[in-house]
Every structure is written in C-alpha cells, then in structure tokens.
Amino acid sequence: MRRIKGLSWLSFCLVFFMVWPQPGWSKKLPPTSVYLENLTWLEAEKVLKEYEVVVVALGVTGKGHYNPTGIWGDPTLATREKGKIIVEATIDQAVKEIKELISLEVKK
C-alpha cells in the first residue's frame, strides 16, 4: 500500500472514523460497522429499521446539499464482522505506530 506523504495509516483511520455533523443531521448518529459490531442481532435489526437507504454517487461534490436524515449510503451493508475487522486492524496499527514513536530518538 502506498503511503501518502504526511498521512499515516493511523491518521487516515482516525480521520475516516470521525463524524462531522452536517446540517440536517439529527442528534442521533447513523450506524456504522464499528457501532453494529457491539450490538446483538436483535438490537442491530431495530437500529437499521430506523434509517432509510440513500444512494450517493461517489466522486460528486456539492455545497449545501445534504440528506435530511444524515445517512449516506446503505447502512444495511454494515455488519458486525466488518466492524470487528475494522476495530482490530485499527488497534493493531495504532499499537504499531505507538511502538514506532516510542522507539524514536529524542533530539536535544
């Protein structure tokens, strides 16, 4: 995997998982794979029923056009397994990056 200058994998994950509130979003955030990983199947089913599916054309940008529900994409594609993989990979990479930082020499 190619590394973008100035952006580590950990930084990318942290930015990727941050949620920026947009106009029209309710106080309740949309479900994610990470969120669903921590729910039972019955809880996840109840959560997913509350959201409508919205198809978004990737690569299209615009200003001021938001979904009133705050949901982008199909939340039914989020799974417990994907959430577990994402959480574990993020933790593994975070540990690797922290160990790398600890091993660096401090310049005086």
Residue 3 domain-assigned (yes or no): no
Number of structural domains found in the chain? 1
What pLDDT does 26 receive?
53
Residue 67 domain-assigned (yes or no): yes
Q: Which amino acid is at 96?
A: K
Which residue has better confidence, 67 or 9? 67
Q: Report which of 100, 35, 104, 105 is spatially closest to residue 71, judged by C-alpha positions.
A: 35
- Domain span at residue 88 reads 9-103
Residue 74 domain-assigned (yes or no): yes
pLDDT confidence tier of residue 19, bands split at 50, 70 and 90: very low
Residue 53 domain-assigned (yes or no): yes
Average pLDDT value for residue range 54-77: 60
